[in-house]
Chain A
Amino acid sequence: MENLINIFVRSVFIDNMIFAYFLGMCSYLAVSKTVKTSTGLGVAVVFVMLVTVPVNYLMNKYLLLPGALSWLDPSFASLDLSFLSFIMFIAVIASIVQLVEMIVEKYSPSLYNALGIFLPLIAVNCAILGGSLFMQEREYETLAEATVFGFGSGFGWFLAIVSIAAIREKLKYSDIPKPLRGLGIAFILTGLMGIAFMTFMGIKL
């Protein structure tokens, strides 16, 4: 249990997808103009992360790792399919995003309309693929650890996009040098927030 809490805190604050690895920056910068839309996208990202990381964990464990196929037949034990992991992970992500889109459309049309174009765009959000690749690189041992890691990374992304959107809403009233307006100041603010998040670095539970 302690281990799981540790992974969660690490993935939300210390290894934050945006501030430490710059993943998902494109949609982060494009969508963070108002708090409302960014909350919608943030929730969708949390959900997709929560589903795709564990599914990719199972894929990795039972299909891709060296010797992973031995559950099928002992003679497959020498196979190593790990070079296929990129294509496998992206296929899983694309199909789960499609599935989520269909389910949301059927059961909650109002949420579907609110999210609009952002839902399909999640498939090419690098934070999602990054989550699965970090899961593979860090070699989490159980399914629970991978799930908690996926949820934590998604939550960290959500936190980041909602807080920058709140700041950008207030920025309309401030006097910024003209060439720095919009994109420039958004980058610098993200950097400053990143510095703030770095204060969590020493924490270990």
Chain B
Amino acid sequence: MSEIKEKESWFSAKNLKLLTEPINSKNPITVLVLGICSALAVTVKMKPAFVMAISVMIVTAFSNLIISLLRNTIPNRIRIIVQLVVIAALVILVDELLKAYVYDVSKQLSVFVGLIITNCILMGRLEAFALGNKPWPSFVDGIGNGLGYGLILLVISFFRELLGSGTIWGYRVISESFYVNNGGFYENNGMMILPPMALILVGIIIWIQRSRNRKLIEE
């Protein structure tokens, strides 16, 4: 039977859905509540947030791919250890790469690169998707979830950097002459730099998303 089964194209509608769903209706952060742990602390500036998003995307995509390739050989009892080993190996690779090419950003991210290992998105996707699906869809699913995660990170860091330090991606967008100490009226909102504002921003994003998409409201 298996020979006559039609081969699914690489970019079929089903696979594309895997890529786009995590961005909105199945977003790992605002809907599934996964991976908040290491997400919020790196969002003070856009650049580290972007590097973090890319790193997570690489690790989700490749750990999904590897676990999916191995899915029929892993005994059920020890699967968590196997998953942790695969993830940890990938994270070590990413960490060494960051240290080699973007050392200053890697210093800013400090322990949070290492914490990708215990990022719940990874475990969640491996358990829920990669263990039961073919390698290519798993890889696409990993990329999609990395994108959904990265999008939220970039939105939060955009507002925190703009309001908190008046810059975007390190470039000044609010003119120096507006500031109070140069005779203007504007002052940076120091609150935005502090950790609690990230949580409140996520709360507001969830509020907006759920009032647009009523299906997500909890009872």
Contacts and interface: CB of A to CB of B under 8 A. Distances in A.
Interface residues of A, number: 48
Interface in B46-94: 80-81, 84-85, 88-89, 91-92
Given A185-B203, A194-B196, A179 B217 contact: yes
Interface residues of B, number: 49
Contacts of A29: 33, 36
A182 B91 CA distance: 33
Contacts of B1: none
Contacts of B118: 90, 124-126, 128-130
A86 interface: yes
A22 B40 contact: yes
Given A26-B33, A126-B38, A86 B88 contact: yes
Interface of A: 19-26, 29-30, 83-87, 90-91, 94, 123-130, 133-134, 137, 177-188, 190-195, 198
A160 to B, nearest CB: 12
A21 B41 CA distance: 6
Contacts of A177: 207
Interface in B83-136: 84-85, 88-89, 91-92, 95-96, 110-111, 114-115, 117-120, 123
B117 A182 contact: no
B110 A192 contact: no
Contact of A22 (B89, B120, B199, B214): B199
A187 to B, nearest CB: 4
Contacts of B214: 179
B116 to A, nearest CB: 9
Given A90-B88, A180-B210, 9 more contacts: A19-B196, A86-B95, A127-B37, A137-B110, A178-B210, A182-B218, A183-B218, A188-B200, A198-B194
